[in-house]
Amino acid sequence: MTEDTENKNETPTPQEEAPDLAALQAENEELRKQNEDYLDSLQRERASFANYKRRVDLDNASFADRLLGDHVKFFLPVVDDLERALLHRPEDPDCDSWISGIDLILQKLLKALEAKDVHPLDLKPGDLFDPNTQEAVTHEENDNYTDGQIIEVVQTGYQIKDRVIRPALVRVAK
C-alpha cells in the first residue's frame, strides 16, 4: 500500500477527538446563546414597532377627528338656523310645503353629520349642568329647578365620539 492510502484509512484516536468535540460543543453553546440573544432582540424590536404603529394609528385617528370637527363647525350654524326656522314656522297653510322642505333639509343635514359620527348632546331641562360639555349663558333664580339644573338649552352642543366639538349653551338655575 502506498503512504497516502495508509493515512486515509487511519482513524483518529479518542484522545485526538476529545479536544475537537469539546471545542465544538463550546462553540455550539456559544452560538445557541447568541441565537437566543438575536431572537430576544428581534422580538423586542417587533413589539416596539407594533407599539409605534398602534400609537401612530391612534394619533392619525385623533387628528382626523379633530379635522372633521373643525370642518363640521362650519355647518352647525346652518343647522341652528334651520331649527330656529322650524320653531317659528308660519301658521299659514300655504306654507306647509315650505315647512316640510325645510324639515327635510334639516333631517338630511343631520343624517350626513350622523354618518360622520357627529351627534348632538342629549340635554333637556332638569339635567344637571356639566361644565365639560356645556356653557352657562345665565344663572337664574327659578322656583321649578334646583341649584345647578338646566332650565333651557339655548343652543345644541355637538360631539364626535366622546370629544365635544361645540358645547351646548344653557340657562342654569341657582
pLDDT tens digits for range 2-55: 555 555 556 655 555 566 888 899 999 999 999 999 999 999 999 999 999 999
pLDDT tens digits for range 87-121: 988 888 888 898 999 999 999 999 999 999 999 99
The confidence score (pLDDT) of residue 156 equals 94
User: Residue 45: how many CB atoms within 10 A of its CB?
Assistant: 10
The confidence score (pLDDT) of residue 10 equals 60
Q: Measure CA of the first residue to CA of the last residue in the chain; give whole Å.
A: 119
In Å, how far are 11, 29, 31, 37, 166 from 23, measured between CA atoms? Answer: 19, 10, 12, 21, 74
Q: Classify domain 118-174 by CATH number.
A: 2.30.22.10
